[in-house]
Every structure is written in C-alpha cells, then in structure tokens.
Chain A
C-alpha cells in the first residue's frame, strides 16, 4: 500500500509539472504521424511533368556565354516556362538566359512570376497576392532572398516561393505544413529557430518525461496487482 501511495504521488506531481508538455507531445506526435509527410511537403500542389531535354535546336556554347557572363562557374540546362534555358552561376549570382539566343530572362518581373506560379500550381484558385520580398519570411527562413511570394486564394492557403534569379520553385507552403511546423516547434521545444533538438529545455523536460513514464509503469504494477489480491 505504501509504495503504491508513493508511486501515485510521484506520478501526479510530475504530471503537474509537465502535464501540458506531455499533452503537447502526444498531440503533435499524432498530427505528425497521421498526416503523410508527402502531403506536408506539398508534392500534390504542383505539377511535376518532367520532359526530356530537346536536341532539335542548337544551343549556345559555354564559351559564348562566358564572354557575356565573365567568371562563369557553372551552368545548368533546364526547361523554364516552355523554353529551354541555361541557369548560369557566377559565384553566388544566378541568371537565366534563353539557351538558343542568350536573351536574358531574369530577374523575373511580376507578370513572369505570376505566369510561372500559375503554370506550376495544380489547383484552380486564383492568385490572391504576389509580392517580391527583400527578406525571406520565417516559413522560408533558410531560402535566399529576394524571393517572390505568390499566395493562392484556396482553402489551404497555398503559397509558392520563387527565386527571381534562377526561376526555381524554392518552397511550397500551405496550412497543413504551417500546422506541422508549429507542432514540431512545440514537440522539440525550440521556440526560436524551430530546429535545435539539442536545447537544454528539451533535454531537461525529457528527463522529467522519462521519470513520468517510469512512475506510470511503477504505478501500473500496484494498481493491477492490488486488484488481483482483492
């Protein structure tokens, strides 16, 4: 009877301290496991039809491009809005040019960003806002700025982020993602960067959490044992 009393007491007092966090761990854990990570990544929000590169038209030689873009470090041939383009890199600077004529296509202006976003987006909701941001917002904090943000007027508040320099789709965000991100923050208890799993608060709370679970296990032994004796 006495150990059972203590087990209950310990379990209850720990619960008083970290009960809310334990609830958040379970709630966030259930959300993160129950919704497919592919859905969270938003793969279903954009078209992914990859076509082979065409060899029918002659493309510019890198030497010719290097004359126009000195210090050329790398180049990539890709499809961009129905055309074949070179994505050129001079150190950290990106430029896209028509692969046949060399005509410069970047930085993307607003109509280009609009039509690129529309060509990528799977849904049929109209664009709500489109804005070139000088600082990447929190939800795309690790992406380079400036960045085009294109918000669609759908229920999921889909937002596509595009690079004005490389024309790449840098990120897809939507409400399911935003909830995941918030719950992940609560799960790992890093309320600033939402990425540091080694923070002291999480470590401390985890130790208490382990004691919580062990005290529950301990309590189970008594609470079922007693019933059998009775």
Chain B
C-alpha cells in the first residue's frame, strides 16, 4: 500500500510539480502585495464629506420617465461633479439625464478629466482622457464606453471612468498589474484571468488534493518506520531496564500495540 502510495505521489507529482511551485509562489506574492495598494486606495481621495441636499425645482421622476424613449428599470438621483442628475438604467446599460432640464448628460473628455482629478491624490500629472473602443483586460467585466486617464506617478496609476455615468470603474496600478499576473497563474485562467471555476484548475486541484492526502499517508508511515528503527535497539536494553525499575509499560510495548 505504502509502495503504491509513494509511486502515485511521485507520478502525480511529476505532472503537477511546476503548478505546485506556481501556486505557492503566486500565493506568496499575492500575500506580500499590500491589498490597499493593489486596490489603488493609497491614491484615492477621501470623499467622506456629507452628502449634498437634493435641490428643489428639479424635474420630477415622472417627467423624466415620460420623456425616456426606452423602457427604464431603475431611476435614481446622483451628482456628477456639481450637477444633479437622474441616472436611468435598463439591464446593464445606464445613462444620465440632467435634473434641471431633462437633457442627456454626456461624460465627455473634459468631464472625465475633472472626475479623475477629483478622485486622485498624489504627485502624478494626468494624461488627457483616452476613449477605449472596447474594454481592455484592466476593465474586464465592465460594459459600455470608457475613458482611460493615466497618471505619471511611481505606481503608474490609471483610472477608468464610465462614459455612460461618470463612475470610477477601476483604479489600477503596478501593484495590481503584478497581482493580476500571479492571480492568473494561481487560478490557471490564462485568457480572461477571472474564471476560477475552469476545468483545468479543477483537475489540477483534484490532483493536488491527491498529492496532499497521499503525502499525509507517506508522512505518517515514514515517521512511524523511523521511530521503530531508532527505538528498537533502545527497547532491548535501557528502556527495558527502566520499565522493570518503574513498573511502567515501556515504549517498546506501546510500539508493539501499534504494529
């Protein structure tokens, strides 16, 4: 049994060896990288100020809904910079309507630059907002047109702003990019780096569990063998004498019970 275990431990180990090193190395790196930095919190302005009171004399939700040319599933008030707006949504798409006159509010490059500047703290100068034709891997999972604003700081901070509603979608930086590579290696999703339920990682994890279980088996048997070998000579003389002296059962007898 132990022989077979050893052999299987070795052969599955051969298949998974590199992944084991990658799991441990990537786990270590992700643990070492400060999570606050990975999330870009250290370059984020603190907006804990009290929420502004909604102004009087705006259009009513009824008027806004009546003017919408498509079904609306969600409606809520928002502030974009200093403008009160209604944020409307249907499915995953969202759009803004100015609360003052009901006209659509477009998040243009000027506004995106202002939103990015207000969110950022640090020494880096901002680039001009650049429109993304399609989401890159740094903004995977988001839909719609996006503005990208890069800051020239030591962390290569990059903010992504939704052109639909002016929300900051992501705060990326060097720590995140490094984290993301190791995350990819850890979850073995080499394409989109987001699906940790992929068949490859499930198979590797099953193999990993087998290695761990057979390893525990081997560990127990191997230390038991060592203990037996080392204690065997002892039992014949000194330990045996002690047993006789104290009347306590000796180590050798305990071992025999285990055999």
Contacts from A to B (Cβ < 8 Å): 12, 15-16, 19-20, 22-23, 25-27, 29-30, 32-37, 50-53, 55, 58-63, 66, 71-78, 89, 91, 99, 188, 196-199, 202-203, 206-207, 209-210, 212-214, 216-217, 220, 223-224
Contact = CB atoms under 8 A, between A and B. Distances in A.
B14 A220 contact: yes
B54 A72 contact: yes
Given A52-B90, A71-B53, A19 B77 contact: no
Given A23-B212, A55-B65, A72-B54, A50 B24 contact: no
Interface string B3-35: 000000010011001101101110110111111
Interface residues of B, number: 58
A54 to B, nearest CB: 8
A23 B213 contact: yes
B56 to A, nearest CB: 5
B31 A30 contact: no
Interface in B60-113: 60-62, 65-66, 71-78, 90
Contact of A73 (B20, B54, B73, B201): B54
Given A16-B219, A19-B215, A216-B17, A73 B51 contact: yes
Given A16-B223, A27-B209, A76-B75, A216 B20 contact: yes
B28 A209 contact: yes
Contacts of B23: 25, 29, 213
B58 interface: yes
Contacts of B10: 220, 223-224
Interface of B: 10, 13-14, 17-18, 20-21, 23-25, 27-28, 30-35, 50-54, 56-58, 60-62, 65-66, 71-78, 90, 187, 196-198, 201-202, 205-206, 208-209, 211-213, 215-216, 219, 222-223
Contacts, number: 165
Grouping DSSP codes into helix (H, G, I), strand (E, B) and loop, the B interface class, with mixed when no group exceeds half, is helix
Contact of A206 (B20, B24, B74, B77): B24
Given A23-B216, A52-B73, A210-B25, A37 B51 contact: no
Contacts of A223: 10
Contact of B76 (A35, A75, A212): A75
A75 B209 contact: no
B58 A62 contact: yes
A91 B50 contact: yes
A33 B196 CA distance: 6
A210 B219 contact: no
Contacts of A224: 10, 14
A198 B64 CA distance: 47
11 contacts: A12-B219, A19-B212, A26-B209, A30-B205, A33-B202, A59-B65, A75-B76, A76-B77, A91-B50, A203-B32, A223-B10
A210 B20 CA distance: 8
Given A12-B219, A213-B24, A198 B56 contact: no
Given A51-B73, A76-B77, A209-B27, A216 B219 contact: no
A91 B201 CA distance: 45
Contacts of A32: 196
Contacts of B76: 74-77
A213 B54 contact: no
A197 B90 contact: no
Contact of A29 (B51, B90, B205, B216): B205
